[in-house]
């Protein structure tokens, strides 16, 4: 049995080229490094926009490091033991975000030992996957929003996602109408409300958006209120998508029984590759669509290894490579709306040292 010899972590602040709002101008990346007792090194990371980076670092440098050293380095064995260990601090959220830093480093080490990319290590099922253009654009003017959509079209995306939830539903409808006109009928349009509505507001809005054929409505309600999602699913025809703010396999199981038809696990927020693969298998068993949330440099590599079709989200100018956060080339290539692996071994993600 190979065991964990050491775990190190460091915090990077990465400014966003396009702020996600007045209070979200940067993201926190905690880069991790594990050394195993056979000398193999693994590099991972965890991530959060603006809030929580120092708390994640503290968990990794204390509770997780202390509990991990000497344990089996197989991530499938290590993960459930450490999750139980951290459970008193919370079954999900800051604990699973921190645990992802170790889990990703262990998967990187496992793939590096065999000299293969994480896609090949898990078992490639696709040569390429589709990418949709995404943006945090609710604060954009309509002209700015349409200019962004034009850039996505020019980049070859066949599907795009925009934010909804302006104070005026009339304004929302006008913006969605203009985006649909620009996209035409052959491209998919997804909507994301980021938990801004209550049940009655969501019902009214989705009936107003029906003429524009949205492929899904993402987080129309408070993510924790799955009972309300179940009621909304009975009221509207548009598929409901949730997942970026669900942190455990058990919450995804509850979501699958509440009328949700699309799940969007964030690989970091659920705790890493180990639980993500379980969530993906559960979704497939239940006939749910799965499209991972953000982090295309990682989620794209896993989508290439999953059976079935999965859309990868690429937020404009927010990839690690575009933000200058990587020490080396990206492990994925996105061209004409399609993502391919560049074949780098392990996760292929190394983060720069020190301040930008």
Retrieve residue 176's tokens: 């969605």
Nearest in space to 240 (alpha carbons), one of 191, 295, 174, 187? 191
- ∠ Cα 286 287 293 (to 5°): 95
Distance CA 248, CA 92 (A): 6
Asked if residues 287 and 262 have their Cβ atoms less than 8 Å apart, the reply is: no
**DSSP state letter for 324:** T
- ∠ Cα 351 56 31 (to 5°): 10
Residue with tokens 């949205």: 214
The CA–CA distances, whole Å, from 161 to 27, 59, 179, 340 equal 21, 34, 10, 21
**Size (the chain), residues:** 356
269 exposed, middle or buried (CB, 10 Å; 0-12, 13-18, 19+)? Answer: buried
Asked if residues 275 and 91 have their Cβ atoms less than 8 Å apart, the reply is: no
229 catalytic residue (yes or no): no
3-state class (DSSP) for residue 1: coil
Catalytic residue among 126, 163, 229, 247: 163
Retrieve residue 39's tokens: 């000398």
Retrieve residue 104's tokens: 């990703």
3-state class (DSSP) for residue 271: coil
Q: E-strand spans in the chain?
A: 4-15, 26-36, 41-48, 129-134, 159-163, 188-192, 217-218, 240-242, 262-263, 289-290, 312-315, 332-335, 338-341
Q: Which residues pair with 189 in a beta bridge?
A: 160
Catalytic residue among 157, 247, 293, 310: 293
161 catalytic residue (yes or no): no
3-state class (DSSP) for residue 71: coil
Residues annotated as part of the active site? 163, 293
């Amino acid at each position: 049995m190979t065991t964990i010899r050491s775990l190190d972590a460091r915090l990077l602040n990465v400014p966003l080229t396009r702020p996600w709002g007045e209070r979200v101008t940067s993201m926190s990346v905690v880069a991790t490094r594990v050394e195993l007792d056979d000398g193999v090194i693994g590099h991972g990371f965890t991530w959060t926009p603006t809030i929580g980076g120092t708390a994640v670092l503290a968990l990794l440098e204390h509770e997780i490091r202390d509990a991990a050293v000497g344990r089996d380095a197989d991530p499938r064995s290590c993960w459930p033991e450490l999750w139980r260990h951290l459970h008193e601090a919370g079954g999900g959220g800051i604990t699973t975000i921190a645990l992802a830093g170790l889990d990703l480093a262990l998967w990187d080490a496992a793939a590096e030992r065999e000299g293969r990319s994480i896609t090949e290590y898990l078992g490639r099922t696709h040569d390429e996957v589709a990418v949709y253009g995404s943006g945090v654009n609710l604060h954009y003017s309509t002209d700015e929003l349409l200019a962004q959509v034009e850039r996505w079209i020019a980049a070859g995306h066949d599907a795009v996602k925009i934010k909804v939830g302006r104070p005026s539903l009339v304004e929302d409808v006008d913006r969605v109408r203009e985006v649909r006109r620009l996209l035409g009928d052959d491209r998919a349009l997804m909507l994301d409300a980021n938990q801004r509505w209550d049940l009655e507001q969501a019902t009214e809005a989705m009936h107003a958006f029906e003429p524009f054929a949205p492929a899904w409505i993402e987080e129309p309600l408070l993510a924790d209120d799955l009972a309300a999602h179940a009621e909304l699913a009975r009221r509207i025809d548009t598929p409901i998508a949730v997942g970026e703010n669900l942190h455990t396999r058990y919450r995804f199981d509850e979501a699958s029984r509440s009328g949700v038809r699309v799940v969007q696990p964030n690989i970091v927020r659920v705790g890493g590759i180990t639980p993500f693969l379980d969530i993906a298998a559960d979704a497939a068993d239940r006939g749910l669509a799965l499209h991972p949330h953000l982090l295309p440099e990682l989620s794209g590599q896993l989508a290439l290894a999953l059976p079935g079709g999965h859309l990868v989200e690429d937020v404009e100018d927010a990839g690690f490579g575009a933000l200058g956060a990587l020490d080396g080339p990206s492990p994925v290539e996105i061209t004409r709306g399609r993502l391919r692996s560049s074949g780098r071994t392990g996760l292929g993600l190394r983060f720069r040292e020190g301040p930008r």
